[in-house]
Amino acid sequence: MEQLLEKYWASESSIQEEKELKELVAKADNSEEMEELKVMFGHFQSEQALSLGDDFDREILALIEEKPETKVISMSGYFKRYAGVAAAMLVLITSSYFFMQQQKEYEQEDTFDSPELALKELKKQLVMVSNYMNTGSSSLNELNSMSKMDVGMEGLKYMGDAARGMEPISEMDILEKKF
């Protein structure tokens, strides 16, 4: 049996010798080496028993003859899909351009030739605003005194005074004056 195994592993055995080796292995005792050989020969026997069905050739030929599907790309669908995106980008770029042009038109310019004149005019305007605010503030203080219960209805006479105190604010026309 050792000689048959050596010939088998060297691929020098004949078909008759391989059959004889398989029979000897099947009848041999259950040692570890023999178990491995039994499993190997059993695997070969089961794989040899597998065969292709009669319809295998027909199925393969049908697959070969089957034409693959071709995907048709419609240009109108493509155009519709991306035309909206292109239009949005065009509107965004155009509006950005006009916005930037509009921002360039509004540049600051000095209205006074010297900083001293500008400071003098600023102080004058701030004093005027302060006077108007103080007049309004004193009138509001008079209105606050109306809320006290001990003064009672006498506080109503101060409302006319408060309205007169607010008149200078309406005289102030900041929009027409240049700073």
Residues 6+ apart with CB under 8 A from 65: none
Q: Give the chain's radius of gyration (CA, Å).
A: 54
Q: Are the CB atoms for 145 and 172 separated by under 8 Å?
A: no
What pLDDT score does 24 carry? Answer: 82
User: Dihedral angle at the C-alpha atoms of 31, 37, 42, 48, nearest 10 degrees?
Assistant: -170
Contact 132, 167 (CB under 8 A): no
What pLDDT, on the 0 to 100 scale, is given for residue 104?
Answer: 73
Query: Where are the strands (E) in 64-135, listed by range?
Result: none
Q: Would the pTM of this model clear 0.75, i.e. be above it?
A: no
Question: How many angstroms separate the CA atoms of 56 and 58, rounded?
Answer: 5
Q: pLDDT value at position 166?
A: 64
Separation between Cα atoms, residue 23 and residue 36, nearest integer Å: 15
What is the predicted pLDDT for the residue at 147?
A: 59
**pLDDT tens digit string along 69-109?**
777 777 777 777 788 888 889 999 999 998 888 877 666 66
Average pLDDT over all residues of the chain: 76
Residue 138 exposure: Cα atoms within 13 Å on the Cβ side: 8
Whole-number Cα distances in Å, 170 to 25, 125, 136, 141, 161: 121, 15, 11, 19, 15
pLDDT tens per residue, range 120-139 = 888 998 988 888 887 777 66
User: What are the backbone dihedrals phi and psi of residue 55, each rounded to the nearest 5 degrees, phi first?
Assistant: -90, 0
> What pLDDT is stored for residue 90 in this prediction?
93
Look at residue 8 and tell me whether its pLDDT is greater than 90: no
Look at residue 173 in the predicted model and tell me its pLDDT. Answer: 54
